[in-house]
Chain A
Amino acid sequence: MKRILLFLAAAVLLLAFLPGFTALAADEDTLPYVTDAANLLSESEAETLQQKAAELTEKYGIAVRILTVSSIGQNNIEDFAEAVFDQYHLGYGDRNSCIMLLLSMEYRDYDIFAHGYGNDAFTDYGKGLIADDIIPELKVNDWYGAFGVFLQDCDEYLAKAAQGEPVDIPFVLNSFDYSFTDPGDTFQLYAATLSGKPVSVSWRSSDPGVATVDENGLVTAVNRGSARIIAYGDGFSNECCVWVENSANAAATRTLLHGVIALIPALIATLTMKGKMKTVHRQRTAAQYTGWDQLNLQINEDRFLHRSVHRTRIESNSGPRAGGGGGGGSHGGTSVSSHGSSHHSGKF
C-alpha cells in the first residue's frame, strides 16, 4: 500500500511540474478499486468499500473505482481523471469500461468519470443525480457515507442499465423548437420517455403574450416574439423554444392589403363594362384613309449620342433567420469527449 502511495505521490508531483505525462512510474500494476491517496478513510472503511467495488466490477463487467488525491496541481480535474485512467489502465474488459469517483482535496473538486460501457450506463443526467446524492455527505466530510452512497447508486444504475433502461431524463418533448407563422396557429407538444412511453407533465409558458399552452400541451401562437414552453414532471423540467413570426396586426394588415388589391380587378372589369355603354366618340386619326405603303420617308437617320455606365453595389441578404438551437431543451443520453470518456465534475 505504502509503495503504491509513494509512486502515486511521485506521479502527482511529476504531473504538477511537467506538462507532458511521462511513463516514469512504469508500473503496469493497476490500482486497487478504492485508492485513498488523500488518506480520508480508515483501513477498515477502505477495505469494506474495496470489497463492494470489486463485487460490482465482477457482477457488471465494469471497473467501479473510487480515487482520492490531495492535489491535482494546476490541472483540470477532468483532464487529470483521463490521464490517470490512461496511465494506470483503469478500465476493465474489451471496452476498457470504468465508472470512477475522483476527489481532489486541495480545492475540493470532484469528477464522476465514465469510459466504455460506463458512458452507456451512466448518462449525463444519471451522473448528475449521483452527484446530487453524494454532495451533501461530501460537504460535511462524511467520506465513508458519501462513497457508500456512490457504490449503492452504481449498483442500482448498473442493474437498470443491464435491463436496457439506463437512468436518464424522465422525459423528452417531441420538438426542441418550433416557428409559428401567424397568431392563432397551433402546435401539439408531447412528453414521453426516451423509450417512447407517454408521460403526463404540467405545462407552462414563459411568455403568454407570445404563446400560450393548455394542460394538454397544445401551444397556440398569440403575437410576434419568442417564448419557452416548459414541461414539468418527476422533479425534472424540459423545454421547447417557440417563435411567432407575424404580429397579430400583421395578419389584419395583410387581409386589408388583399382587400385593396382585389379592388383593382373589380374596378377594371366594371369600368370596362361601363366603357362599352358609350360608343360615340371623335376619331383621333385618319388611319383608315391612308396606308403604310403611302409613307414616303425622306429622312431616316439614327444617330448614336453617348453611353453612360452605372455601377451599384449589390446588397447581400442577411443570413438565414436565427432561430435554430434547442435552447434549454434536453435530449438525454451522454456526451462523450474525444478521449472517449464522459464526466460530471464540480466542487464540494
Chain B
Amino acid sequence: MPSQVTNYQCPACTGPLKYDPQSGKLVCEYCESVYDPKEIETLYAQKEAEAEAAKKKADAQYAQAVAQMPEGSPWSEAEANGLKVYNCPSCGAEIICEATTAATSCIYCGNPTVVPGQLGGMLKPDFVIPFQKTREDALAALKQFYQGKKLLPKAFSQASHMEEIKGLYVPFWLFDGKAEGRAIFNASNSRSWTEGSYRVTETEYFQLDRAGTLNFQHVPVDASKNMKDDYMESIEPYDYGELKPFSTAYLPGFLADKYDVDAKESAPRASDRAKQSFMDALAGTVNGYASVGMREGRADFYPSKASYALLPVWMLHTKWQDKDYYFAMNGQTGKLVGDLPTSKGRFWAWFGGIWAAVFAVIEIISRLL
C-alpha cells in the first residue's frame, strides 16, 4: 500500500475521500459514496495513463501539422531578375532590394561593405502589406510620442538626435490553425443572512467543464533573427484588410530582410499565443459565479498553414547622452513603440508632489470629521 501522500477525490462529486478504518473503505465526505481503496487506486492510475496518452497523441499531431503545412513558393525567373540580394559580412544579414534600389549599408549593423549575393534557394513571399506611412510621418510620430511623457528628461526631446531612419519590410510567418483543448473550473457562490443573533453563510460549490476548438487566422511571428521580436509584437496589429499578394512593385525605395527563421521554428511562438487565447476564451464562457478558479486545463494548437509575408516597419535610431534608443513604427497603422529613459529627478519630484497633496487632503478631511 503506497504511503498516503495525496488526497483522493470522490469520482462522483470531487469531494474529499476519507479512509474509514471500521469498514476499510474510502468514504466521500460530501456525498457519502463508498469506494474500495483498490477501486480508487486503479481509477487514478487509469487517469494518469490516459492523460499521458492524450499528450503523446497531441504532440504527434502537432508535429505532423507543422511538417505538412505549406509555406510559400519559389520565385519565378522574371521576378528573380528584378531583385538584388546583399550579404553583410559583419552580422550575416541578408538584404533584398528591388533591382533599381541600392543597399549601401547593412540595415542592422550599419556596416557599409555589403556584398551582392545570390537570390537562389529563397522562398518568394506570399503576401505584402504596402507602406502607408512616410518618413515624415515617422518623424512626426516620434515627436508626438515624446509629448505627455511626464517622466521624460526635459533635455531629451531637444538634445537627442536622429542617427538613422529606415523603412524596411520585415519577414513574418502568418499562421492559420486550430486550437483545441479542455478546462475544468471550480466555482462557488455565497449568500449570507441574519438569523436571530447568528450570521449564516451558505456556499454552493460547482465544477464546470469546458472543451472545444478555436480557429485562428494569420497569427504573426517575426521570421528575422535580427529584428527584435518584442518590438515587432508591440507594433501589432496590422490590418490584414490591406494584405496583398506579393509583387516586387511594392519594393522600390525600401529594403527588405530575408527570413532566416523557418516556419517550423516559428510555429511554437504562434502556438503559445494561440493556446493562451484559447484558455481565455474558455474562461470567458464561465458566467454567474462569485469565484472561479481553473483546476486543470490542457490546450493544443495545430497549425494548418504558414504564409510568408513582408510587413512594413519604420525603424528609428536616436542617441542621447551616448546611449542608443530604438523606436519601431508600424508602417501601415503608424503605431510607434520604443523605450524612453526615465528621469529620476522628475520621478521623485512627481512622487513627492502627489504624496504631499494627498497627505494634506487626508489631514484636512480627518480634522473636519
A-side interface residues toward B, CB under 8 Å?
254-255, 258-259, 261-263, 265-267, 269-270, 273-274, 276-290, 292, 294-314, 316
Residue from A282, A295, A313 in contact with B233 in the complex, judged by beta carbons closer than 8 Å: A282
Q: Is the CB of A304 within 8 A of B182?
A: no
Top 4 nearest A-B pairs (CB, nearest first) are A266-B355, A262-B359, A299-B211, A286-B273
B-side interface residues toward A, CB under 8 Å?
13-15, 30-31, 149-152, 182, 187, 194-195, 197-220, 228-231, 233-234, 236-237, 270, 273-274, 276-277, 280-281, 284-285, 336-342, 347, 350-352, 354-356, 358-359, 362-363, 366
Q: Is the CB of A277 within 8 A of B199?
A: no
Asked if A292 meets B281 with Cβ closer than 8 Å, knowing A266-B351, A267-B351, A309-B200, the reply is yes
Asked if A294 meets B354 with Cβ closer than 8 Å, knowing A305-B30, A305-B207, A307-B202, the reply is no
Residues of B within 8 A of A309 (CB): 200-203
Residues of A within 8 A of B203 (CB): 307-310
Residues of B within 8 A of A263 (CB): 355
Q: Is the CB of A310 within 8 A of B201?
A: yes
Residues of A within 8 A of B182 (CB): 299
Residue from B13, B209, B362 in contact with A306 in the complex, judged by beta carbons closer than 8 Å: B13
Q: Is the CB of B285 within 8 A of A310?
A: no
Q: Is the CB of A282 within 8 A of B229?
A: yes
Residues of A within 8 A of B366 (CB): 254, 258
Residues of B within 8 A of A285 (CB): 273, 276-277, 280
Expressed in whole angstroms, the Cα–Cα distance for A286 and B363 within the complex equals 48
Expressed in whole angstroms, the Cα–Cα distance for A282 and B201 within the complex equals 44
Expressed in whole angstroms, the Cα–Cα distance for A258 and B366 within the complex equals 9
Shortest Cβ distance from residue A250 to the other chain B in the assembled complex, whole angstroms: 12
Residue from A269, A301, A314 in contact with B354 in the complex, judged by beta carbons closer than 8 Å: A269
Q: Give the residue among B31, B202, B277, B366 with the most A Cβ atoms within 10 A.
A: B277
Shortest Cβ distance from residue A241 to the other chain B in the assembled complex, whole angstroms: 25
Residues of A within 8 A of B217 (CB): 289-290
Q: Is the CB of B230 within 8 A of A314?
A: no
Chain A residue with the shortest CB-CB distance to B187: A302
Shortest Cβ distance from residue B3 to the other chain A in the assembled complex, whole angstroms: 28
Q: Is the CB of A287 within 8 A of B205?
A: no
Residue from A261, A288, A302 in contact with B236 in the complex, judged by beta carbons closer than 8 Å: A288
Residue from A262, A280, A295, A301 in contact with B234 in the complex, judged by beta carbons closer than 8 Å: A280
Asked if A270 meets B214 with Cβ closer than 8 Å, knowing A280-B230, A288-B236, A288-B237, the reply is no
Residues of A within 8 A of B362 (CB): 258, 261-262
Asked if A287 meets B234 with Cβ closer than 8 Å, knowing A279-B339, A282-B229, A305-B30, the reply is no
Residues of B within 8 A of A269 (CB): 350-351, 354
Asked if A299 meets B199 with Cβ closer than 8 Å, knowing A255-B363, A286-B219, the reply is no
Q: Is the CB of B231 within 8 A of A312?
A: no
Q: Give the residue among A265, A286, A299, A309 with the most B Cβ atoms within 10 A.
A: A286
Residue from A261, A276, A279, A311 in contact with B200 in the complex, judged by beta carbons closer than 8 Å: A311
Residues of A within 8 A of B230 (CB): 280-282
Asked if A270 meets B274 with Cβ closer than 8 Å, knowing A303-B206, A314-B199, the reply is no
Expressed in whole angstroms, the Cα–Cα distance for A308 and B213 within the complex equals 35
Residue from A280, A301, A313 in contact with B337 in the complex, judged by beta carbons closer than 8 Å: A280
Q: Is the CB of A277 within 8 A of B340?
A: yes
Residues of A within 8 A of B200 (CB): 309-311
Residues of B within 8 A of A254 (CB): 366
Residues of A within 8 A of B352 (CB): 266
Q: Is the CB of B198 within 8 A of A312?
A: yes
Q: Is the CB of A274 within 8 A of B277?
A: no
Could you give 13 example pairs across A and B, Cβ below 8 Å? A265-B354, A270-B351, A274-B342, A277-B152, A279-B234, A283-B273, A286-B274, A296-B212, A300-B210, A303-B206, A305-B205, A309-B201, A310-B200
Chain A residue with the shortest CB-CB distance to B233: A283
Residues of A within 8 A of B276 (CB): 284-286
Q: Is the CB of B151 within 8 A of A277?
A: yes
| Inter-chain pairs besides A280-B339, A295-B281, A302-B206, 5 sampled, C-beta below 8 Å | A258-B366, A277-B339, A286-B273, A295-B212, A309-B201
Shortest Cβ distance from residue B234 to the other chain A in the assembled complex, whole angstroms: 5
Asked if A297 meets B31 with Cβ closer than 8 Å, knowing A277-B340, A281-B234, A313-B197, the reply is no
Q: Is the CB of A306 within 8 A of B201?
A: no
Shortest Cβ distance from residue A199 to the other chain B in the assembled complex, whole angstroms: 35
Asked if A306 meets B234 with Cβ closer than 8 Å, knowing A286-B276, A296-B213, A314-B194, the reply is no
Asked if A290 meets B215 with Cβ closer than 8 Å, knowing A262-B355, A262-B359, the reply is yes
